[in-house]
Structure 1
Amino acid sequence: MSWIQLRLSANRESASALEDALMEIGAAAVTMEDGADQPVFEPGVGERPVWDSTRVTGLFSADADTDALLVALAASYTAPLPPLKVEILEDRDWIREWMDSYQPIQCGERLWICPSWREPTDANAVNLMLDPGLAFGTGTHPTTFLCLQWLDQQDLTGKTVIDYGCGSGILGIAALLLGAEKMIAVDNDPQALIATRDNAQRNNIAPERVECFLPTQIPENLSGDAVVANILAGPLLELAPQLAGYLAPATPICLSGILHTQGDLLSERYSEWFTDIDRAQREEWLRITGQRKAG
């Protein structure tokens, strides 16, 4: 079926009120989009990112009376309505279009990330078959790519890799396919742990090689041979002593989710526990790696 879209220009103050008004008059869905190419990289905890210039779109059934919708919206929204546009959204197979947008990605000499619904580009490569499902992590984002590239360069044979902030499990599963014996996945979202287990099964990884924990469930004696954490700069700063505590001397750590402007701060913080601090950059994002100091 087709849909009617009401698209309105809003600012940071009016976006939420417009969203409420659209829902009140019967919108099937309301979305907010950046209206001026203003990235929001790291919202605060519990904060929903809203841009200074925001496009608010309400979706309505095609048989709705457009004139009546506009009258109802004007009555529901207490201020004068901002500029708006009425559009017809033709019916499309959105799931198929989403699936078609993901292509296999080469992340090093050995490793490829391949959507589970596609054939691998190189059948002889290390192919991680991935269904992102409800969790973050497809390999397309620079931070994920940087971590995968680093894993591809490591000798992980027989090792235990801790994937802190695992999302879809892509990093820990890649480590297993590259030779690691075990992955320990940690995430504060239960859906991420479900996605991690599902993706491990999809890659024919035995369940006993994957352990999943919420942060509150982490065993006190947890340890690994490598840590990879692709989250955000704020949590990485707070977690530094905890992540360092999981590692023995001369074992590596890989951090990402870091903007290039945050590199000095993170490098200085982790230099208390790690040596050989190194950086790699992709677009505006950094990967920081190091080796655990003795003692």
Structure 2
Amino acid sequence: MPWIKLKLQIDEPQAQAFADAFEEWGAIAVTMEDAGDEPLFDSYWEKPPLWSRVRIVGLFPEHADTNEILERLSERFSLAQPPPHEIDLLGDEDWAHSWMAHYKPLQVGRNLWIVPSWCAPPEPAAVNIILDPGLAFGTGDHPTTSLCLEWLAEQALAGKTLLDYGCGSGILSITALKLGATAAFAVDIDPQALQVTQQNAAHNGIHSGLNVGLPSALPKNLRADFVIANILMGTLIDLAPDIVNRVRPGGMLALSGMLAGQETEVRAHYEPPFALTAHERRKWIMLTGRKPADLG
């Protein structure tokens, strides 16, 4: 399957907003690079780059309309014309070689690392999630995923069950299991995401406790201690009745994948029964809350 790589250059103050727009409009991977050959020292992974001129590189499915994307960028950011850009067509093998170089180990919390499968863990004694992103969303570096990971790392997961809506690479389900959860149900509508999730589970030595499949395959009576939905705002709203029902009484819910300003509409579909708390990172929002224990 061919892929379209769209590269453009922009000044640093707008770089993160452009990268977020790429993801919002269908990019399955986005990276930011130095466009001016400036050295970068000692930057934490969750912070924006320090270069004054940034190259945004987005990988889109072959059917993406790059002209439309460029027009939408010009409209959103009030540009007289699209910024300097290049468009390349990549095969799967070219994609793999092109993108592997951009991923590096990421620390989440004090004792949790997300480590690409081709890298050595920086702290072998820590909880290391060995990840092969493949062609599925979820590498840990995007704010929506990093917020979920940090939240998971703070929870008491031992002996608990997790339901992961929109599992992507499987990163959240695998993390929950390695942090002590007994079972994780990872669901996605993309068959390739399900395949990548199973591959990543194998890389992490997970041979039991992980259930991977389409949402329609979930047991009808399944209620989980923790439910995470890291998906787009519209899907969070469409699935709200089922997501609410899947959280057991006294269980925890995390909703991620919405931009600042979108959370009000999402809240309207989950409150009550939940009283949700907002967590923000780089204009992305995660909502978390506990289901009242007296609800049946």
What residue number does 1:233 align with?
233
Quote how far apart the aligned CAs of 1:223 are.
Answer: 1.8
Whole-angstrom distance in 1 between the partners of 2:95 and 2:22 = 26
Corresponding residue SS for 1:287: strand
8 Å Cα contact 2:257/2:286 also seen in 1: yes
What residue number does 2:147 align with?
146
Question: Which amino acid in structure 2 is aligned with residue 231 of structure 1?
Answer: I
What residue number does 1:115 align with?
116
In structure 2, stretches of 5+ residues that fail to align are 27-60, 75-81
Corresponding residue SS for 2:224: coil
What residue number does 2:100 align with?
99
Structure 1 position 279 matched with structure 2 position 278: yes
Structure 1 position 251 matched with structure 2 position 251: yes
Aligned length: 233
Whole-angstrom distance in 2 between the partners of 1:131 and 1:271 = 36
Whole-angstrom distance in 1 between the partners of 2:3 and 2:170 = 30
8 Å Cα contact 1:185/1:213 also seen in 2: yes
Whole-angstrom distance in 2 between the partners of 1:151 and 1:59 = 37
TM-score (norm 1): 0.72
CA offsets per residue over residues 253-278 of structure 1, 9 Å max, x none?
Answer: 11110101112222232112213x11
Corresponding residue SS for 2:176: helix
Whole-angstrom distance in 2 between the partners of 1:210 and 1:59 = 36
Question: Which amino acid in structure 2 is aligned with residue 269 of structure 1?
Answer: H
What fraction of aligned residue pairs are identical, expressed as a percent? Answer: 44
Whole-angstrom distance in 2 between the partners of 1:255 and 1:163 = 10
Shift in alpha-carbon separation, 1:41–1:272, aligned structure 2, 3 A: farther
What residue number does 1:209 align with?
209
Whole-angstrom distance in 1 between the partners of 2:200 and 2:232 = 23
Question: Which amino acid in structure 1 is aligned with residue 100 of structure 2?
Answer: M
What residue number does 1:177 align with?
178
Structure 1 position 189 matched with structure 2 position 198: no
Shift in alpha-carbon separation, 1:241–1:124, aligned structure 2, 3 A: same
CA offsets per residue over residues 173-215 of structure 1, 9 Å max, x none?
Answer: 0000111011101100011111111111110011x31111212
Shift in alpha-carbon separation, 1:58–1:162, aligned structure 2, 3 A: closer
Corresponding residue SS for 2:239: helix
Whole-angstrom distance in 2 between the partners of 1:243 and 1:100 = 37
Whole-angstrom distance in 2 between the partners of 1:126 and 1:196 = 18
What residue number does 1:124 align with?
125
8 Å Cα contact 2:170/2:200 also seen in 1: yes
What residue number does 2:87 align with?
57
8 Å Cα contact 1:226/1:251 also seen in 2: yes
Shift in alpha-carbon separation, 1:283–1:270, aligned structure 2, 3 A: same
Question: Which amino acid in structure 1 is aligned with residue 227 of structure 2?
Answer: V
Question: Which amino acid in structure 1 is aligned with residue 283 of structure 2?
Answer: E
Whole-angstrom distance in 2 between the partners of 1:189 and 1:221 = 23
Corresponding residue SS for 1:270: coil
CA offsets per residue over residues 84-143 of structure 1, 9 Å max, x none?
Answer: xxxxxxxxx875553232111111122110011111111111000000112111001111
Greater than 3 Å deviation, 4+ residue runs: 28-38, 40-44, 46-49, 53-60, 93-97
Quote how far apart the aligned CAs of 1:33 are.
Answer: 5.2
Shift in alpha-carbon separation, 1:57–1:269, aligned structure 2, 3 A: same
Whole-angstrom distance in 2 between the partners of 1:94 and 1:191 = 16
8 Å Cα contact 1:166/1:196 also seen in 2: yes
What residue number does 1:288 align with?
287
Whole-angstrom distance in 2 between the partners of 1:193 and 1:59 = 25
Whole-angstrom distance in 1 between the partners of 2:88 and 2:25 = 24
8 Å Cα contact 1:132/1:138 also seen in 2: yes
Could you say what the CA RMSD is over the residues aligned between the two structures, in angstroms? 2.7
Whole-angstrom distance in 2 between the partners of 1:249 and 1:165 = 22
What residue number does 2:223 align with?
223
TM-score (norm 2): 0.71
8 Å Cα contact 1:30/1:56 also seen in 2: no
What residue number does 1:242 align with?
242
Whole-angstrom distance in 2 between the partners of 1:29 and 1:112 = 29
What residue number does 2:160 align with?
159
Shift in alpha-carbon separation, 1:29–1:232, aligned structure 2, 3 A: closer
Corresponding residue SS for 1:120: coil
Structure showing greater Rg = 1
Shift in alpha-carbon separation, 1:43–1:99, aligned structure 2, 3 A: closer
